Structure 1
Amino acid sequence: MTAGRFDIELLEAFVAVADTGSVTRAGALINRTQPCVSSQLRRLEDRIGRQLIERTSRIMVLTPHGRILYDHAAQILKSHEEARMRLSAPELTGKVHVGLPEWFATSRLQSLFCSFVRVHSNVKLELTVADSATLHERLAANEINLAIALVQSGSAEANACVEELLYWVASEDCVLSDPLPLILFPEPCPFRQFVFTSLEAAGRRWYEQITTTSVAAAQMAILSGTGVGCLPAGAVLDSFKVLKEQAGFPPLPATRLAIYTQAQNSSPIVHHLKTYLEQFLESSVSGQSVLNSSTHPDLRVVQA
């Protein structure tokens, strides 16, 4: 059977469902009603002549044909969005310096920055990856223009935040001994106090086996079975075992990320990029993605 021509709105509905794992959440993401999204999915499947998503009472899963289409549809929508932005974007010229937490410098976010500079070819982008405390300090000193950073007490207010859950993680073969070996980030990382308070409440003893400023180094130490770590969802690898309350690891509070701009000398570039990143954070609130086999949620937007 020959597939019919692709309609951009049908592809948009399909990708939204795949990204969010829910017709309802997809509708909220692309500003359409749930019946409208369901109808568009059926129309796309009828046009292609293939089932794209398997629906059960609990989950939605992409079929093999759905996975093939998703890869192409995501690229089509990316090109479509870049074309739309090129035609509607203001003329921007200059330099912008952006700071990111290491675990949040994902391939999807990097791709977004690449799209931004392709649209705004006269903008030079500089990226700094550092811990949130350093990013706040550099913002206060006006050394960087914009940062996605953890919300800290005493920092500037943000209009909206993204909550990212924290997880206890270990390798499959890690021995959960008493006292518990921990892999932590140094002060002033806020995760440390969450860990200590949680373990004290559970009556568990611990010691600090490895302290590192590097997310990659912490991930490697956890993978090696050296100890237990506390990581935000964005840094949790598929090969990690997530430790639950029934194993003696109480739930950890969510962290809060927000977009901050420098105190002085804001520019049209910074304002435009901030709006661009806010849209990215909202679209990253994925719940249970059809593409993600993980059983834990990632992010949710909250008001500050």
Structure 2
Amino acid sequence: MTIGRFNIELLEAFVAVAEAGNVTHAGSRLNRTQPCVSTQLRRLEERVGKPLIERSARTMNLTPAGRILYQHATEILRSHEEARLRLSAPELTGTVHVGLPEWYATGQLQSIFCNFVRIHPNVKLEMTVADSATLHEMLSNNEINLAIALVSSTKQMPVEIFEEPLHWAVGDNCPLTDPLPLIMFPEPCPFREISFGSLARAGRQWYERITTTSVAAAQVAVLSGAGLCCLPSGAILEGFKILKEQDGFPKLPATQLAIYTQSTTQSPIVDYLEEHLNDLLQNAIAPRSALAGKMQPDLRVV
């Protein structure tokens, strides 16, 4: 059987459905109507000659052919977007120093920075991974050009704020009776006040079992069953159990992130990267690819 050439818009519709879990959400993500996405998905299946998604009254699942196509389609779309950006991007030359929270230093956001330097081969990228308090201080001292950091009450309120849910994360074999063993980050981490306040209002008792400055160390401690930890969506790993209200744990408020730039000098590189990151964070809407199982940041713009 000969399969026809793939159309980018059809692949976009297929990947959006795979990652959103249904046609309606995929349409919102692509700014297309639900009938349009359904038609594009059907046309792609006709071109492939095989069903890509199994549909029932309540569920949608990728078929074996769908899983194969999803792997290739994401690469095709990534390459297509990179080519589009390289052709439309301004010529940039120089050095840019960015700061990231540790839980954002890997995965999708890290790949965005790698793509940025590929698109702009004359730009040198320097990256600092630190807690938000340190990043704000470095920005004030003009030691870094741009940072994605937790919103600070001492700074001017950013125009755009991205909300990221917080979760109670625990591994296997961790005792969930009072007093609860907590894995915490030291002051001035805002997750401490959020955790203590939420547990106090729920009438739970706790003790601080492990305190660490490292998100990676906290993740290892959670997986080992040493305690439970308040973590943002971007730090949730496979193997974590998320505790909810039905488990006896209070719902946590969302934390707020924003893109901050230097208080003084600005450059075309920083301006372009700031705009690029704003677009990225606005589009990072799916916490999990519902059909394909791919993790993404869970962010909402407010």
- Normalization by structure 2: what TM-score? 0.94
Report the equivalent of 1:176: 176
> Post-superposition shift, 1:290?
2.3
Report the equivalent of 1:213: 213
Give the total of aligned pairs: 302
- 2:295 is the alignment partner of 1:301: no
Aligned AA for 1:300? L
- Distance in 2, Cα, partners of 1:109 & 1:297: 9
- Distance in 2, Cα, partners of 1:34 & 1:95: 44
- Normalization by structure 1: what TM-score? 0.94
Report the equivalent of 2:255: 255
> Post-superposition shift, 1:139?
1.1
- Distance in 1, Cα, partners of 2:95 & 2:179: 50
Q: Residues 208 and 292 of structure 1: is their aligned pair in 2 closer, same or farther, counting only changes over 3 Å?
A: farther
Report the equivalent of 2:141: 141
Q: Residues 184 and 59 of structure 1: is their aligned pair in 2 closer, same or farther, counting only changes over 3 Å?
A: farther
Report the equivalent of 2:202: 202
SS across alignment from 1:29: helix
- Distance in 1, Cα, partners of 2:223 & 2:87: 46
SS across alignment from 1:36: helix
- 2:111 is the alignment partner of 1:118: no
Give deviations 1:40-93, integer Å, cap 9, x for gaps.
111101110121122334443222211111111111111111111121111100
- 2:79 is the alignment partner of 1:69: no
SS across alignment from 1:174: coil
- Distance in 1, Cα, partners of 2:36 & 2:180: 51
- Distance in 2, Cα, partners of 1:55 & 1:262: 50
Given that 2:104 and 2:110 are in contact with CA atoms closer than 8 Å, whether structure 1 keeps it comes out as no
Alignment of 1:1-304 (within 5 A): 1-291=1-291, 293=293, 299-303=298-302
> Post-superposition shift, 1:2?
2.4
- Distance in 1, Cα, partners of 2:30 & 2:285: 13
Give deviations 1:89-147, integer Å, cap 9, x for gaps.
11100011111111112322121111111111100011111111111111111111111
Q: Residues 287 and 179 of structure 1: is their aligned pair in 2 closer, same or farther, counting only changes over 3 Å?
A: closer
Given that 1:170 and 1:240 are in contact with CA atoms closer than 8 Å, whether structure 2 keeps it comes out as yes
- Distance in 1, Cα, partners of 2:134 & 2:292: 32
- Distance in 1, Cα, partners of 2:55 & 2:49: 17
Dislocated runs of 4+, deviation >6 Å? none
Give deviations 1:244-302, integer Å, cap 9, x for gaps.
212221100001111111111111111111111112112211155224659x9952323
- Structure 2 unpaired stretches of 5+: none
- Distance in 2, Cα, partners of 1:160 & 1:57: 38
Given that 2:108 and 2:296 are in contact with CA atoms closer than 8 Å, whether structure 1 keeps it comes out as no
Given that 1:21 and 1:286 are in contact with CA atoms closer than 8 Å, whether structure 2 keeps it comes out as no
Larger deviation, residues 282-291 vs 250-259: 282-291
Larger deviation, residues 280-289 vs 90-99: 280-289
- Distance in 2, Cα, partners of 1:170 & 1:82: 38
Given that 2:145 and 2:262 are in contact with CA atoms closer than 8 Å, whether structure 1 keeps it comes out as yes
SS across alignment from 1:155: coil
RMSD (CA atoms): 1.8
Given that 1:169 and 1:228 are in contact with CA atoms closer than 8 Å, whether structure 2 keeps it comes out as yes
SS across alignment from 2:175: coil
